[in-house]
Amino acid sequence: MYFLGLDGGGTGCRAALCDDTGRRLGEGRAGPANIATDYDMARANILAACSQAMAGVCPPSAVRAVLGVAGASLSGAGQQLAASMPFAHLRVVQDIVISVRGALHNDDGIVAALGTGSVFARQLDGEIRSVGGWGLRLGDEGSGAWIGRAILMRATRALDGLVAATPLLATLCGEMGGGPGIVSFSLHATPADYAALVPRVLAARNDPAAHAVLEAARAEIRALIAHLQPDGACLPVCWLGGLGPTLALPDWPVRTPLGTAVDGALWMAQEEKEWPI
């Protein structure tokens, strides 16, 4: 029997295959894999990455797989995906689950995953509880997309005279064509488009507007992690994603991740001892 793990997110997916000793036998990569955003494209990319990982080693019928996929739980598309996959045995879970298992393995702790979006999760006594991950329209607090949108919201408030027009805000307004340009951008912007503004905010972190937005992001992150901390305990936090280390807070002990999300998916696949052969 072979084991396959896949990490499928909004920008791409990665898969790895190993044998029962844990030895890596193959890897694969493909494009975006958020099954809530574009199911057909995501499924095609997931199959492509898995096929690359298995190529020349084994057929899907010899594989136990765990797929951690963005949009798996909140959209209801996880069951649809599971029913369409060719593996002998399969679990489809939300991508945060494999991130937690990769970072903590079986230990207690909290994971703060901050990239274009954001999601937070706690593993305690083997149980995983997550908060956030609702997408930019409903949440994604402290994420790259949230920060990018927040700086443009502050720019419009400056145009209305409600806050000071700082150098960063003036520059952004000028580059985007003032209020009409910002509105036009907002009508078509994706979360990734908003997140592309984050390097500008970080580079100008001493600008009053940038400072205010970053502090607001940290306040949201602090509240969500505090909500996950058990009463009377102080679990360590793993900071994941492109923005995790940048926005890490000193409020709790920091833990270095034990592995990647793909590692977590592989570990889960290997741990499913009750699966029938």
Domains annotated on the chain, with CATH: 2-106+258-271 (3.30.420.40), 108-256 (3.30.420.40)
Instruction: Give me Rg for the CA atoms of the chain.
Output: 20
Share of the chain above pLDDT 90, in %: 74
pLDDT at 274 over 80: no
Q: Confidence class of residue 33 from pLDDT cuts 50, 70 and 90?
A: confident
Number of other residues whose CB lies within 10 A of the CB of residue 226: 11
- Give the chain's mean pLDDT: 91
Q: Confidence class of residue 116 from pLDDT cuts 50, 70 and 90?
A: confident
Which of 37-41, 212-216, 236-240 is predicted with the least confidence, judged by mean pLDDT?
Answer: 37-41
Strand 13-18, strand 2-8: pairing = antiparallel
- Global pTM? 0.84
Q: Confidence class of residue 79 from pLDDT cuts 50, 70 and 90?
A: confident
Residue 276 is predicted with a pLDDT of 44
Residue 109 is predicted with a pLDDT of 96
Q: What is the pLDDT of residues 119-170, one digit of tens each?
A: 999 999 989 999 998 888 888 999 999 999 999 999 999 999 999 999 999 9
Residue 11 is predicted with a pLDDT of 75
Which has more pLDDT, 224 or 241?
224
Report the residue count for the chain.
Answer: 277
Mean pLDDT of 75-87: 86
The answer to whether 15 and 52 are in contact (CB under 8 A) is: yes
Residue 93 is predicted with a pLDDT of 92
Between CA 154 and CA 46 the distance in angstroms is 39
Mean pLDDT of 76-88: 88
Q: Confidence class of residue 192 from pLDDT cuts 50, 70 and 90?
A: confident
Q: In what order do the strands lie in the sheet with 118-124?
A: 127-132, 118-124, 109-114, 237-240
Which of 21-25, 47-51, 155-159 is predicted with the least confidence, judged by mean pLDDT?
Answer: 21-25
Where does residue 190 fall: left (phi above 0), alpha (psi -120 to 50 degrees), or beta otherwise?
beta
Q: What is the pLDDT of residues 194-222, one digit of tens each?
A: 999 999 999 999 999 999 999 999 999 99
141 SS3 class: coil
Between CA 213 and CA 217 the distance in angstroms is 6
